[in-house]
Amino acid sequence: MIASERPDHATLQAAANWYAQLLAAPQDQQLQRRWQQWLGAASANQVAWAHVERISQRFTPLKLQADASLQALGSVRRTDLDRRRAVGLLGLLCGGGLLALAGWRVPAARQQLLALSADQRTATGEIRSLRLPDGGLVWLNGSTALNIDYRPSLRRLELLAGEVLIETAHDSRPFVIDTRQGRLQALGTRFSVWQRDQSARLSVFDGAVRLHPAEGTDSLVVAAGWQSDFDRHGVQAPRAVDESRQAWREGRLLASDISLGEFVEQLRAYLPGHLGVDPQVRALRVMGSFPADDPERTLAMLESALPIKVHRTLPWWYSIEPR
């Protein structure tokens, strides 16, 4: 498996289950041997374990990580793995999880590191407004990272992660916002940009925005009332804007007949830890108003409205499964 591939839902859940078992019985040597067998069976298992470890390090004492590393070291010696495999496994589990830091995509890991040093950052669940140097306004959704670079000839924002809603001010200088997927130039407007995993979404509520994919040859002007998803190579055909995409600035998540998979993607900005969704229920439709500041209540509302069950493998690991 190459580094750009992401473990599937089932593999991530298996890794979380192993982590929970090891946490509950850290002295169970038989359990540790079975875990090592699972871990060495496929590189996807190792990447999934690294992800679980990275998430869990935010919530568990560092001693647990050290204990797991020592256990892995002893297991590697006992099973007499070849040197190359042993070095790779120890790098995964002992060095603070280098693979956990890199995630499953090297470019994405670089972006995460850049986000840590951004000019403006919001924590998970935090929503904040900011007045720009020219008098314009920007709202930062949860888990957002933004750089602000105003120069004599250009007003530039760089969205490294998350989502922003922008109301531009009148100014003779061009106003642009750069994402991993391309550059957007505001043409006197109110709009939002959502930096997703492999793409971004532009939603225009007033005015217009010119969209330039990073590696595309054409640009597209998206007018008020329309939204479009885009990646580095091109732009999807615009469709009617989802006006509810502005509601998060008021602490509400409005779902107007969207898939559960997309709703979960939005909810992750407000829920610390991991939130996964089984592919069997990703396509279920969600409608209604949900409290962004109370993700546990939102999950309970989803459970009551849909044929799903929220499993909590760990206090910080949530998975939405078929009921």
Per-residue pLDDT of the chain (323 residues; tens, 9 = 90+): 334 457 899 999 999 999 999 999 999 999 999 999 999 999 999 999 999 998 888 886 534 444 444 454 445 444 444 444 334 433 444 444 444 444 444 455 566 677 778 999 999 999 999 999 999 999 999 999 999 999 999 999 999 999 999 999 999 999 999 999 999 999 988 999 999 888 999 999 999 999 999 998 889 999 999 999 999 999 999 999 988 889 999 999 999 899 999 999 999 999 999 999 999 999 999 999 999 999 999 999 999 999 999 999 999 999 999 99
Q: Are residues 172 and 197 in the same domain?
A: yes
Q: Could you tell me if residue 113 is inside a domain?
A: no
Is 140 part of any domain?
yes
The answer to whether the beta carbons of residues 174 and 155 sit under 8 Å apart is yes
CA distances from 165 to 213, 286, 312 (A): 20, 23, 32
CATH code of 168's domain: 2.60.120.1440
DSSP code string of 225-251: TEEEEE-SS-BPPPEE--GGGGGGGGT
Residue type, 15: A
Q: Kindly state whether residue 53 falls inside one of the protein's structural domains.
A: yes
Tally the domains of the chain.
Answer: 3
Residue 194 forms part of a structural domain: yes
Q: Is residue 115 part of a domain?
A: no
Closest CA to 50 of 20, 85, 12, 76: 12
Does 79 map to a domain? yes
Residues 51 and 70 in one domain: yes
Cut 0.85: pTM above it:
no
d(Cα 317, Cα 319) in Å, to the nearest integer? 7
How many Å is the maximal CA-CA distance in the chain?
Answer: 69
306 falls within a domain: yes
- On whether both 149 and 206 belong to a single domain, the answer is yes
Range(s) of the domain holding residue 36: 9-104
Asked if residue 15 and residue 93 are part of one domain, the reply reads yes
Domain holding 255: CATH number?
3.55.50.30
